[in-house]
Structure 1
Amino acid sequence: MDKIIGEAFNELQNYLYKLTPAIEKTVQYFRGQKEDQGLNLLIPIIDGLHWVIEVVHAAKDWLIHYNIMMDENVMNENLREMVSAMEHQDYVLLADVLEYELLPVLQQLGKALEEVL
């Protein structure tokens, strides 16, 4: 594995270890009707998700080589759904997208990277 790609994968894996608990905490806030606290965490989470998508896109060939798949289009669609939920102040939908759509994908990506590294 190329040293730069290895470092990028390592950084991505470390970031996922921080991102997934933040998502879980945000879901708890929204489900507990603590929307302000959830929204405070949500902006950095969205920024982090964009970064994850960028890394996956940049390293797509390497990820495919190691049989690691993540559909960027699905991730982007989930982000659009999150934005729509935020605009409509639908925090239940927002929590659902985070918990049932994004979190499993990120956890799977983290496990796959763990096997490669």
Structure 2
Amino acid sequence: MDPIVAGLLATLVGAIVGGGVSFLLNRQLHAQQLERLRTEHKTEFAAEDTARHFLSHRGYTDRSFEVLRKHLGGFEDDELRRILVRAGAVRTYRDDSSEWWRLLSRMDEYIDQKVRRADVTAAD
């Protein structure tokens, strides 16, 4: 075999093996960092899951801020609002200026309920 071809082949194999090892080590490092961050922010992740649970109840598309605050105790109001936004919720206000939250993913369901109520009211 020509020494130049052998050198190129050895360089190529070395680059592939080195790149593969580097890729695997970086992947493992990122997985460990993600797990460490999840552990550090476990309370916030659990609060987001709990907020999603309350806002996903099939009987209620909206929840008042007071109810959410009661069930997600231990957070300041602004911190709780940030958790609700991270959970995928949007804030609305009622005519009495009370604050209500709904999952953005349930907006179509809310609109359908509103249209059905309007149809029932119009039929009466």
Instruction: Please indicate, yes or no, whether the TM-score normalized by the shorter chain is above 0.5.
Output: no
Greater length-normalized contact order (CA 8 Å, ≥ 6 residues apart): 1
TM-score (norm 2): 0.29
Name the one with the larger helix percent: 1
TM-score (norm 1): 0.30
